[in-house]
Amino acid sequence: MPNFIAKKCKNLTLPFEKDGVKFLNLLKGRKVDFILTRANEELFFVTVKKKDDAYLFKGEKLTRPAKVGLLQKALEILRDEFCSEILNNSINFNKNSLTKNSSIIMSELEAIKALNGREKIAIEIGFGSGRHLLYRAKNELDKLFVGIEIYKPSIEQVAKLAIKQNIENLVLVNSDARTFIDLVGSNLVDTIYVHFPVPWDDSPHRRVISGEFMSEIQRILKVGGTFELRSDSRAYVDYSLIKFLDMDGVSIKVHKNRDLEISSKYEDRWKKQLKDIYDVWLKNLVKSGEKSWKDRLKFDILDINLVKQNFRHKVTKFSDFFLNFEEIYEFDSGELLIKLSFGAFDTPGNYFIKISKDKTEYFIAKPLPTDMNLKAHEKVKEQLAKWQIL
Ligand SMILES: C[S@@+](CC[C@H](N)C(=O)[O-])C[C@H]1O[C@@H](n2cnc3c(N)ncnc32)[C@H](O)[C@@H]1O
């Protein structure tokens, strides 16, 4: 993350504008201050933290702009206009970073939009080195392939290979498949591949396949769409078959030691060790209802003074998620900004809520409308309502 440390800084008199970057507001917090900044229509925060007897300026992680160059440019302006005695300068601005943005790599919501109007869609979960995914995309040009991978270096490596090979029917998303699948519309997908998932034989609850996950998989598959599990772990296959047999409206096929046109890195390793390889194909036979999560991340109008008066730092744990009200900030205009985090214990998210006189809303980055986030959002609303009491 680009940053700099300065020993001396003048008072920031805002708003201030230079070279298309607007510094709009200073929000004072207990430990960190935020500078609300706008560049190229993107809104983000620069944070200022007092560190020993110097000031550390850097981007705020949650609102970081898509093009890192915008943040670097903002930091350069703050450094040159307001600060002196620079102790550390790690901004690394170069003009390319204002335009660089690989179009194959998308956020979850961008990828969901990319599915609109596509007739044939395939998803690979945990594509690793991408051998199978790239091969399929190159050979099935009438389909849009979406690769979901939790490990970021794999995303970057496979994006480079896809660009080199001019593959255009491919989208890569750095996400937990369990979150992504929740967001996909019903009855849209032709094929979902999960090849050689991490077996987690000692902690089965960490496996990507679960009863809940499979009902979401069935919801997004077309009638006749298939979910294809390929694994060398007999324990994983037995476990999955039990889950599949609990489902209604599906048919199941099992193969042993079937050769595919393309062999993945893991597969090569197991084949050398003469291990058996199992395929379990689940075909969906029923049409699913639409999910109605639109507009469910809204707030009621709140009284600013009561929230300001009653706000407390507060962590609440529920059976499968938590809620952490972290900090409150005030704009010059009197509007409030609450920083909070919530979500599943292993995939939490950080958010801001802006409270104005006539509107309360998630600020800059909205939570993804996953089932877990919708549940947490209801609890956020309950807590805010409790702070409405005199
Ligand atoms: C054992 S590797 C197999 C990779 C590839 N399918 C192959 O056959 O070579 C499992 C992959 O799944 C990814 N993965 C694990 N859990 C995931 C999740 N919840 N969502 C997306 N990817 C996940 C891992 O990062 C890893 O790349």
Question: What are the tens digits of pLDDT across the range 354-377?
Answer: 999 999 999 987 888 888 888 999
By alpha-carbon position, which residue is closest to atom 14 of ligand 1?
126
Correct CATH for 105-284 of 2.40.340.10, 3.40.50.150, 2.40.30.10, 3.10.20.70: 3.40.50.150
Residue 99 in this model has a pLDDT that exceeds 50: no
pLDDT (0 to 100) of residue 96: 58
pLDDT of residue 230: 96
Between residues 368 and 385, which one has the greater pLDDT?
Answer: 385
**Lowest-confidence range among 36-45, 70-79, 147-156, 275-284?**
36-45
Helix pair 131-139, 152-164: axis angle to 10 deg: 30
pLDDT tens sequence across 63-87: 888 778 899 999 999 999 999 999 9
Q: Which residues pair with 74 in a beta bridge?
A: none
* CA pair distance 174, 182, nearest whole angstrom: 15
Q: At 294, is the pLDDT very low, low, confident or very high (cuts 50, 70, 90)?
A: low
From the CA of 129, give the closest atom in ligand 1. Answer: 9
168 is in an annotated binding site: no
Number of neighbours of residue 255 by Cβ within 10 angstroms: 11
CA–CA distance, 339 with 355 (Å, rounded to integer)? 11
Pocket of ligand 1 (CB under 6 A): 125-129, 148-151, 154, 176-178, 195-198, 208, 264-266
How much is the pLDDT for 97?
Answer: 52
For residue 159, what are the β-bridge partners? none
27 in helix, strand or coil? Answer: strand
Which atom of ligand 1 is nearest the CA belonging to 208? 19
Strand-pair category, 144-149 with 121-125: parallel
C-alpha separations of 183 from 115, 197, 342 in Å: 11, 21, 18
pLDDT band of 256, cuts 50, 70, 90: very high
Q: What is the pLDDT of residue 203?
A: 86
Percent of the chain with pLDDT over 90: 73
Nearest CA to ligand 1 atom 4: 128
Q: Ligand 1 pocket: which of 150, 173, 193, 210 to mutate (most atoms <8 Å of CB)?
A: 150
Residues 6+ apart with CB under 8 A from 250: 218, 244, 282, 283, 284, 285
Please tell me the distance from the alpha carbon of residue 362 to that of residue 374, in angstroms, as a whole number: 13
Closest CA to 318 of 241, 372, 257: 372
Tokens of 161: 């290979």
Candidate from 131, 196, 230, 231 with most ligand 1 atoms within 8 A of CB, to mutate = 196
Q: Is 364 left (phi over 0), alpha (psi -120 to 50) or beta?
A: left
Q: How close is the Cα of 147 to the center of ligand 1, in Å?
A: 10
> Of 129, 136, 149, which is best to mutate to test ligand 1, by the most ligand atoms within 8 angstroms of its C-beta?
149
Region class of 303: left (phi > 0), else alpha (psi between -120 and 50), else beta: beta
Q: How many angstroms separate the CA atoms of 159 and 157, rounded?
A: 5
pLDDT the model gives residue 100: 45
Residue 92 has pLDDT above 60, yes or no: yes
Q: What is the DSSP letter of 205?
A: G
pLDDT of 129 > 50? The answer is: yes
Residue 197 CB coordination number (10 Å): 19
Q: What is the pLDDT of residue 295?
A: 65
Q: Is 149 annotated as a binding residue?
A: yes
Distance 255 CA to ligand 1 centre (A): 21
- 211-220 and 234-245 helices, crossing angle to 10°: 70
C-alpha dihedral, 263 to 265 to 269 to 270, nearest 10°: -50
Residue 142 marked in a binding site: no
Confidence band, pLDDT 50/70/90 cuts, at residue 296 = confident
Q: Is pLDDT larger for residue 336 or for residue 107?
A: 336
Q: Which two tokens stand for residue 337?
A: 């900004």
The H-assigned helical ranges of the chain are 68-82, 108-114, 131-139, 152-164, 177-183, 211-220, 234-245, 265-272, 304-310, 371-386
Average pLDDT estimate for 82-103? 75
Query: Which residue has a Cα nearest atom 10 of ligand 1?
Result: 197
Cα(149) to ligand 1 centroid in Å equals 6
pLDDT confidence of residue 88? 94
30: CA distance to ligand 1 center in Å? 41
- Residue 356, classed as helix, strand or coil, is coil
Output the six-digit token pair for 77: 């302006």
Summarize the confidence of residues 55-61 as an average pLDDT: 93
> How much distance in Å is there from the Cα of 176 to the middle of ligand 1?
10
Taking CA atoms only, the protein residue closest to ligand 1 atom 11 is 126
* The pLDDT value given to residue 102: 53
Query: Does the pLDDT of residue 173 top 80, yes or no?
Result: yes
Higher pLDDT, 344 or 213: 213
Residue 198 CA, closest ligand 1 atom number = 1
Q: How far is the CA of 217 from the centre of ligand 1 (A)?
A: 17
pLDDT digits (tens, 9 = 90+) for 207-232: 999 999 999 999 999 999 999 999 99
The alpha carbon of 126 and the centre of ligand 1 are apart by a number of angstroms equal to 3
Is residue 45 within 8 A of residue 35, CB to CB? The reply is yes
Protein residue closest via CA to atom 3 of ligand 1: 196
Average pLDDT value over all residues in the chain: 91
**Ligand 1 midpoint to CA 88 (Å):** 39
Task: Compute the distance between CA of residue 129 and CA of residue 136 in angstroms, rounded to an integer.
Answer: 13
Answer positive or negative: Cα dihedral of 106, 108, 110, 115: positive
Ramachandran class of 172: left when φ > 0, alpha when ψ lies in -120 to 50, beta otherwise: beta
For residue 121, pLDDT over 50 is answered with yes
Helix (H) or strand (E) holding 234: helix 234-245
Burial grade of 113 (CB within 10 A; 0-12, 13-18, 19 or more)? exposed
Residue with CA closest to ligand 1 atom 25: 151
> CA–CA separation, 271 vs 319, rounded Å?
42
- The per-residue pLDDT for 272 is 87
Query: Is 108 flagged in the annotation as binding?
Result: no
